[in-house]
Structures are given as C-alpha cells and as structure tokens.
C-alpha cells in the first residue's frame, strides 16, 4: 500500500464496498416498501406479513428453479431463479388473493377501524406464511443462485484499469438494479397513465368518491394484490440471490421496510423509494469499517489503527429503528408528506 | 336445553376454568404431577403477561407488538439484581464502563438540552457525534477488559447480589421505562407507529442482550440464578419432609421389607421434592396474579376505568369532554408493559437460567396475543383462561404432532425419507396452527370466549 494520498483508489474502494451494495440493497428495500405502500394506500393497513411474504415468494422461486435445473431448462450464465420468477409470481398472486379472500375481505365489509384489525390480521397471516416457509425449507440459511457470479470480477477490473483497488459487479447486484428500475418505471407508468392505475389512485385518495363514480372496489383490491405479488416475489428473490435465503432474515426485513415507508411518508410511492435508499445507505455507511479508506486518503503518520467503524454490524437493524424514531420525532409525515398522520 | 344455555351464559368463566383445571388434573394423574404443575406454572406466568397485554389492548386498544422485548427486560433484571457481583471484572473494567456510561448519558442529556435551547442544529449534531465517539472508545475498551475475566464462567459484571424478589419490581420498572420512552414518541400519532416501534424496540433489546457479553453474558447464557423457593436437594435431605412423605405413604410402605422400604421411600421423596418446589412456585405466582387481577378489576370499575374505556370506544367524544387522550394512552401503555416486565422476571426466576435465544417473537409476542384475543379482550379473567388454554395447546401440540406423524408412519410401508422430513419440520406447523386460531377467533367470535361485560349498558 502506498503512503501517498490516493483518491482514485479510495473512491474505487468505496464504490465496491458501499455504493454498489447500497444501491442493490436499497433497490430491494424499495420494492418491498412499494408493496407495503400499495397495501397501505388501497387497503389502509400496515402489512406486517410483507417480510414473510417475500420469503414465500422466494421459496416458490427456489423450488421452481430447482426443478428447472434438474430438467436442464437453463440458459448458461443466467441464474435459473430469474427464469422461474414469472411462474412464481403467478403462485404468489394466487396465495395473496386466497389470503385476501379468506382473511382480509370480511373486514372491509364491516365498519371497524381498518388499521388495527388489518395489523392484527396481517400478523396472523405473517405467522402462517412464516410457518409454511419454514416447514418446506427449514429455518437454516441457503443459497440458490447459479450461473455466473460476476459481471466483471475484481481481477478483471484491475487488469483493465491498472488500479490497485478493484471493483467487482456481482450478477445479483446488476440484476437487482436493472430489474428495480424497470419495475419502478412500469409501476409508475401503470399508476399514472392507465385507466386502472388512475382508478386505484382515485380509490386511495377518496374511497367514497371513487365508489360513487363507479369504480369497482373488488377489482381495485385484486389488482393491488397482483402488483404486490409482483413486487414481493421479485424483491424477495433479488434479496435472496444477493445475500442468501434465511426465513428469519426475511422476517426481520420488516423493520427496514417499515422505516423506509415511514421516512418517505406513509402512502407515498416516491417517498418509499427515497426512504429505502436512505435507510440502505445509512445502514451500510454506519457499519462500514473506514480503516482502509482512510489509509488511502491520509498521510502515513495519520493512519488509523482501529477499524474506524461507527456501529458494529450486529446492530444494523437498530439503525433503521433509530432513523424511524428520529423521523417520528422531527417530521412524522415523512420526507414526502404522506397522506395521513392520524387514523381515519 | 334453555336452562343449560342460561346456566352457561351466567357461569361461563367458572365453567371454563373448571374444565381447564380438570384437564390439568387428568394430565397429572395420567402423565405426571411434575408435568401438570409445570404446565400450570407456565400458564400462570403467561396469564400475568396476558393480563398486561389485555390492559393495553382490551382497555385502550393499544397495539403492542414488542411483548418479547419487555419480557426480556424483566429477565435481564433478574440477572442484574440477583446474581453475585464479579469483583475481578469490576476491578478490571468497572470504572471505565461507569465512565463510558456517564459520558454517554451526558451526551444524550446535553443533546436534548441543546436541541431544546435552540442552539445551531449542526453544532448540536457535531457535539453529539463527538460525545458518541468518546463514549464508544471507552466503552469498547471497558467491554474488552470485562469480557476477558474468566470468560468461560463469568466474563461479565454480575449483579448486585440482592434477593431475587427485588428483581421483579426492577423488571417491571425497566419495562415501564422502555415503554414510556417508546410511548412518548409514538403515541398520539397513527396506531401503526406504536406497533412498528414496539416491534423494533423488542428486536433491538434482544440484539443488545445477545451481543453485549459484558452485560449479561450474551449468548453464553447465565446459569444458576438464585431462587425464592427451596432447592429440591435440600428438601430431600430435610427430616420433616422425609417424615411427611413417609406418613403419606404409610400404609403402602408397611407392607414392604425394611430394605425395600428405604428404597421406595427415597424414590417417593425425590418425586415429591420436585412437586413440592413447583407447588411453592404455584403459590407465589397465584398470589401475584391474584393481586394483579384484583387491582386491575378495581381500576377498571373506578372512574378511571370508565374514562379509559370511554376513550377507547370513542376518542373524539372523550377528547371533546376534555380528556387528555395521549396522556391516558401513555399511562396505560406503561402500566401494561410494567406487568409484562414483572412476568418476564418471574419467568426467568422460575427457569433459574437466562437464555437470550429463548426469546422468540412467536413464543412471546404472538402467543400472548392469541391468549388475550381467545380469552376475550377487555376481560381479565378471559386473559387468564386464554393463557391456560393456549399454553396447554402449545405444550401438547408438539408431542401430538409427532404422534400423528408416527401413526401415519405405522400405516405407511414406504416413504421413510418423507416421514423423517415431516418429523423434523412438524413443529413449524405450530406457527400455522396458532396463526389460524387467531384469525378464526377474530373472524367468527371477535369477543373471545369470555367477552367483555359492559356494565354501563
């Protein structure tokens, strides 16, 4: 390692260990947060089952891709999981619609505080879903990605640029960022331009008025669950490809996802995305050990001896919680002015 | 027929509790008394916890998804109060840790003070960060020093060595403190915020307990916590106990030869000692549960209780009548959490061992919820009944599931691998089972078994 100041290598280091992981983690959170936002806007409750639903979707992908690999239906270089996603989305849609029919539908018909009954019911669904996933896949962690692991590896990058510090782009990171952009673009187009999307927004803004103008509430709810299935399956699979699949990990994703939604302003899709990246980057920036980064930037005499890590990695979920608390203290409506701050 | 129905309606609580008691008697006679008493004691502790949650949910409609965290705080306080202090560890890093915590406290209080007195926000933030870094520096040094002291046995500061009964009060206070802080921030905002924040705080409490080894040994567990009741070994050796057991089994023992008599008697004494200790615990838990029930029933029927229910049933009207809703909610949230904290401390006292990994959201938060909703939210006796039923199902559903699988296995010639797979995973189905119970009650009998009685109507 050189003893002079080396900004380019420092930036390369940061890109590899902070920016790329942050972008992909943020994208995964954003998709999950969008699903929570959709349920919140249309069905008017916070969906506690989101994390476990993501695990359920990923479980479907794991089974399907396992079957496809055993049949030899693969494309070299591409993770088979990617090919399994469309079918898994269909399975996930059926599961969510079934849960809606069996659990949530009843409460929409009666006059009752939707937010509270929704939370209670979704916690019941959360445990049922978690139980099913653990029953079929066990509670231990596993990896299910195949195909090429890297778009370009550290070695290739070093050979190409001649830098001391390499950057690697994992396939999972590339897929995450690309798919997230496509999906978000599709979602916003759908909500802004199509008739169904407009109907959904109208329903979310003012339910009575929407019903009066002839919008079919059952259809709006159905479409919402389909969109949630789409987002949930893809978010879960991408997270699993990136970090491996473990049911407990998915269950705990609930915290950063809720933090993202509330930071952005509950009920606001753009807020959810912004919140997700804020949470993801805070988590990574605060738990990253800056020792090597500072060694590149500081003269030899000032090189740090400790890891220069602000918060231990084991407390990464605490960070989303602290962000949540700070937002509630300073600006409970969130950054992008969520719709409501008190119950209806 | 009509008579039976009215009789049931009038004496629902007594009948259901009697049935539950009979079931436990049945277990005692058929399986073993130690098992039946074990279930009974755990049901009592769960009932106390459910009572706390019922106060929050049934009285005020507050949604606490962090029961696990508050119970864990109670558990921690048992270790901190009742364990003997580890003098070497205190000598090694105690002062430094104290210093770190003082600096940390000064940072927090200073930050709040500066924020209130409208000093420049960036300056405040900078000072808080500097304070944090200094705290962290001393803190990690102290933690290292403490954890190095005989890590296989201690490696933590130990407790104050006080009688274990104090820890129940401290456990309640600790949980109350955490609840006050969370409630202060989230109450008065949307209902969901309280739910999400309690979920968060409970996970974080557990992360701290699991990772800070200097505090309560982290994942290494704390064994041999002091007890409020005698030990089995002491009971076996005490003369009056032996005489008592000999007297109880007099007629049977007389028929045996001298050597057989001694052997049989020692068997009986060993069994009886276990049962006796469990009975001591039962007495203790019944007393505490009874006190809580009486107090909360008195409170519920007082003007205070009517105010609380008025707020729950119609916030707008109550606030128009000049009731401070946020303050009332905060009060109830703190009281309920304190009771959960006491129950958490009792649980660890009863186990005699503190295992952080035993705190699972399903076992604590969710199970207690199902108890409250099954029993009848708003009704204290309902919570007790719910606790007994659900705990019984919870304990017996594991063996029952395995039994079903084995029955299936006997009738199947092939598929051994499949059966093994099911046997290994069948306990996860308890999650599905409990979730289904919750959803079914919510859907078809929202009042629970013993619905709240509304006296004003």
What pLDDT score does A21 carry? 92
Structure tokens at B89: 């560890």
Cross-chain residue pair A138–B425, CB shorter than 8 Å: yes
Q: Is the pLDDT of residue A341 over 70?
A: no
Nearest Cβ partner for B436 among A128, A130, A312: A128
Angle between helix A114-137 and A50-71 (nearest 10)? 30
Contacts of B405 (CB under 8 A, 6+ apart): B419, B422, B423, B426
More confident residue, A182 or B400: A182
Phi, psi (degrees; rounded to nearest 5) at B389:
-65, -50
Q: Is the pLDDT of residue B270 over 60?
A: yes
Question: What pLDDT digit, counting tens, does each position of B111-169 carry?
Answer: 888 888 877 888 888 888 888 888 888 888 888 888 888 777 777 888 888 888 899 99
Q: Within the 339-378 window of chain B, which residues sit less than 8 Å (CB to CB) from chain A? A: 361-362, 366, 369, 373
Neighbours of A155 (CB within 10 A): 11
What pLDDT score does A27 carry? 96
What pLDDT score does A256 carry? 93
Cross-chain residue pair B436–A125, CB shorter than 8 Å: no
Instruction: Tell me the C-alpha distance between B415 and B421, whole Å.
Output: 10
Question: What pLDDT digit, counting tens, does each position of B395-438 carry?
Answer: 888 777 778 777 777 766 666 677 777 777 888 888 898 899 99
Phi, psi (degrees; rounded to nearest 5) at A319:
-65, -45
Reference B127, options B99, B94, B117; nearest CA is B117
Residue B63, classed as helix, strand or coil, is coil
Cross-chain residue pair B193–A103, CB shorter than 8 Å: no
Instruction: Tell me the C-alpha distance between B438 and B436, whole Å.
Output: 5
Nearest Cβ partner for A128 among B193, B196, B432: B432
Cβ burial, residue B299 (10 Å; 0-12/13-18/19+): middle
Query: B420 CB near a chain A CB, below 8 Å?
Result: no
Looking at B64-73, B204-213, B335-344, which range is the least confident one? B204-213
Instruction: Tell me the C-alpha distance between B164 and B354, whole Å.
Output: 14
Q: Is the pLDDT of residue A339 over 70?
A: no
- Name the E strands within chain A: 150-152, 169-170
CA dihedral for A93, A97, A103, A108, sign (positive or negative): positive
Residue listed under structure tokens 């924040």: B197
What CATH number does the domain located at A7-330 have?
A: 1.10.3470
Cross-chain residue pair A135–B432, CB shorter than 8 Å: yes
How would you classify residue B414: left for phi > 0, otherwise alpha for psi between -120 and 50, otherwise beta? beta
Reference A113, options A21, A25, A45; nearest CA is A45
Q: Enter the pTM of the model.
A: 0.88
Query: B128 CB near a chain A CB, below 8 Å?
Result: no
Structure tokens at B311: 């707020």
- Residues of chain B neighbouring A259 (CB-CB closer than 8 A): 200
What pLDDT score does A82 carry? 87
Residue listed under structure tokens 């090189």: A303
Nearest Cβ partner for B425 among A106, A135, A254: A135
Strand pairing class (A169-170; A150-152): antiparallel
Neighbours of A268 (CB within 10 A): 22
What pLDDT score does A63 carry? 93
Under a CB-based contact definition with an 8 Å cutoff, are residues B69 and B198 in contact? yes
Angle between helix B164-186 and A316-330 (nearest 10)? 50
SS3 assignment for B341-379: HHHHHHHHHHHCCECHHHCCCHHHHHHHHHHHHHHCCCC
- Residues of chain B neighbouring A117 (CB-CB closer than 8 A): 442
Size of interface A-B (CB pairs under 8 A): 130
Cross-chain residue pair B191–A343, CB shorter than 8 Å: yes
CA distance B2 to chain A (A): 31
Cross-chain residue pair B432–A325, CB shorter than 8 Å: no
Determine the average pLDDT of the residues in B249-273: 81
Structure tokens at B286: 């019944």
Q: Is the pLDDT of residue A97 over 50?
A: yes
Compare all CA atoms of chain B with the CA of A338 and give the residue at the minimum distance.
B190
**In what helix (H) or strand (E) does residue A283 lie, and over which residues does it extend?**
helix A269-287
What pLDDT score does B415 carry? 62
More confident residue, A300 or A23: A23
| ipTM for the assembly | 0.86
Residue listed under structure tokens 């909360």: B296
Instruction: Tell me the C-alpha distance between B215 and B315, whole Å.
Output: 42
Structure tokens at B359: 């705190």
Interior/surface letters A86-113, b for 16+ CB within 10 angstroms, e for the rest: ebbbebbbebbbebbeebbebbbeeeee
Cross-chain residue pair B193–A325, CB shorter than 8 Å: no
Angle at B282 between CA B277 and CA B287, to 5 degrees: 130
Contacts of A53 (CB under 8 A, 6+ apart): A35, A47, A92, A96, A129, A228, A232, A236
CA distance A243 to chain B (A): 20
More confident residue, B144 or A60: A60
What pLDDT score does A49 carry? 94
Reference B276, options B311, B229, B320, B309; nearest CA is B229
Cβ burial, residue B443 (10 Å; 0-12/13-18/19+): middle
Structure tokens at A91: 């399975």
- Residues of chain A neighbouring B190 (CB-CB closer than 8 A): 115, 266, 340-343
């Amino acid at each position: 390692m050189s003893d002079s100041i080396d900004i380019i290598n420092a930036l390369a280091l940061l890109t590899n260990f902070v920016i790329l992981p942050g972008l992909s983690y943020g994208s995964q959170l954003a998709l999950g947060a969008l699903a929570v936002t959709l349920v919140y806007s249309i069905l008017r409750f916070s969906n506690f089952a989101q994390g476990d639903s993501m695990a359920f979707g990923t479980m479907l992908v794991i089974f399907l891709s396992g079957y496809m690999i055993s049949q030899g239906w693969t494309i070299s270089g591409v993770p088979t999981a990617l090919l399994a996603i469309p079918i898994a989305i269909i399975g996930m849609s059926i599961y969510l619609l079934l849960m809606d029919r069996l659990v949530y539908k009843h409460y929409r018909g009666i006059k009752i505080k939707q937010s509270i009954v929704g939370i209670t019911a979704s916690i019941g669904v959360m445990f049922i879903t978690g139980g099913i996933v653990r029953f079929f896949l066990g509670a231990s962690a596993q990896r299910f990605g195949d195909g090429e692991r890297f778009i370009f590896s550290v070695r290739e990058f070093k050979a190409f640029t001649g830098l001391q510090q390499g950057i690697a782009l994992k396939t999972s990171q590339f897929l995450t960022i690309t798919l997230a952009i496509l999906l978000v673009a599709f979602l916003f187009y759908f909500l802004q331009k199509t008739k169904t999307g407009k109907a959904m927004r109208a329903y979310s803004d003012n339910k009575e008025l929407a019903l009066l103008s002839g919008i079919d509430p059952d259809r709006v709810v159905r479409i919402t669950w389909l969109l949630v299935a789409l987002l949930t399956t893809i978010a879960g699979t991408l997270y699993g490809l990136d970090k491996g699949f473990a049911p407990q990990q998915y269950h705990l994703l609930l915290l950063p996802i809720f933090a993202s939604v509330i930071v952005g302003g509950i009920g606001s899709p753009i807020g959810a995305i912004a919140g997700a990246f804020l949470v993801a980057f805070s988590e990574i920036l605060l738990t990253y050990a800056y020792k090597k980064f500072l060694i590149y930037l500081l003269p030899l005499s000032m090189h740090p001896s400790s890891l220069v890590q602000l918060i231990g990695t084991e407390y990464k979920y605490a960070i989303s919680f602290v962000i949540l608390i700070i937002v509630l203290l300073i600006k409970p409506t969130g950054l992008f002015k969520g719709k409501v701050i008190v119950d209806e | 027929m009509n008579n039976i129905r009215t009789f049931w309606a009038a004496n629902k609580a007594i009948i259901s509790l009697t049935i539950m008691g009979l079931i436990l008697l049945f277990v005692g006679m058929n399986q073993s008394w130690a098992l039946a008493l074990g279930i009974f004691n755990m049901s009592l502790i769960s009932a106390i916890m459910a009572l706390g949650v019922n106060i929050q949910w049934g009285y005020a409609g507050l949604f606490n998804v962090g029961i696990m965290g508050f119970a864990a705080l109670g558990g921690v306080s048992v270790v901190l109060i009742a364990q003997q202090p580890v003098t070497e560890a205190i000598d090694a890093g105690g002062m430094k840790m104290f210093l770190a915590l003082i600096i940390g406290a000064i940072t927090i209080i200073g930050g709040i003070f500066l924020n209130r007195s409208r000093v420049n926000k960036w300056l405040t933030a900078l000072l808080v960060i500097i304070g944090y870094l200094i705290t962290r520096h001393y803190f990690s040094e102290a933690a290292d020093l403490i954890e190095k002291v005989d890590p296989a046995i201690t490696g933590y500061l130990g407790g104050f060595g006080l009688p274990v009964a104090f820890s129940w009060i401290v456990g309640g206070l600790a949980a109350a403190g955490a609840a006050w802080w969370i409630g202060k921030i989230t109450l008065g905002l949307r209902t969901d915020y309280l739910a999400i924040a309690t979920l968060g705080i409970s996970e974080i409490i557990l992360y701290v307990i699991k990772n800070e080894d200097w505090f309560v040994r982290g994942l290494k567990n704390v064994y041999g916590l002091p007890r409020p009741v005698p030990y089995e070994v002491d009971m076996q050796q005490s003369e009056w106990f032996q005489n008592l057991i000999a007297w109880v089994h007099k007629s049977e023992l007389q028929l045996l030869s001298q050597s057989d008599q001694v052997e049989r008697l020692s068997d009986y004494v060993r069994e009886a000692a276990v049962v006796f200790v469990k009975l001591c615990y039962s007495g203790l838990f019944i007393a505490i549960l009874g006190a809580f029930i009486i107090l909360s029933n008195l409170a519920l029927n007082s003007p205070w209780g009517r105010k609380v229910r008025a707020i729950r049933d119609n916030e707008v009207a109550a606030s128009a009548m000049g009731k401070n809703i946020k303050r009332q909610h905060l009060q109830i949230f703190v009281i309920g959490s304190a009771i959960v904290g006491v129950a958490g401390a009792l649980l660890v006292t009863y186990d005699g061992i503190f295992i952080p990994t035993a705190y699972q959201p399903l076992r604590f938060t969710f199970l207690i919820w199902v108890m409250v909703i099954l029993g009848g939210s708003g009704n204290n006796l309902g919570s007790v009944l719910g606790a007994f039923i659900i705990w019984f199902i919870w304990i017996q559903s594991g063996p029952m599931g395995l039994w079903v699988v084995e029955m299936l296995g006997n009738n199947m010639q092939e598929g051994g691998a499949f059966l093994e797979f099911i046997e290994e995973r069948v306990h996860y189905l308890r999650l599905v089972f409990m979730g289904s119970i919750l959803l079914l009650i919510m859907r078809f009998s929202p009042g629970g078994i013993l619905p709240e009685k509304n006296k004003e109507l």
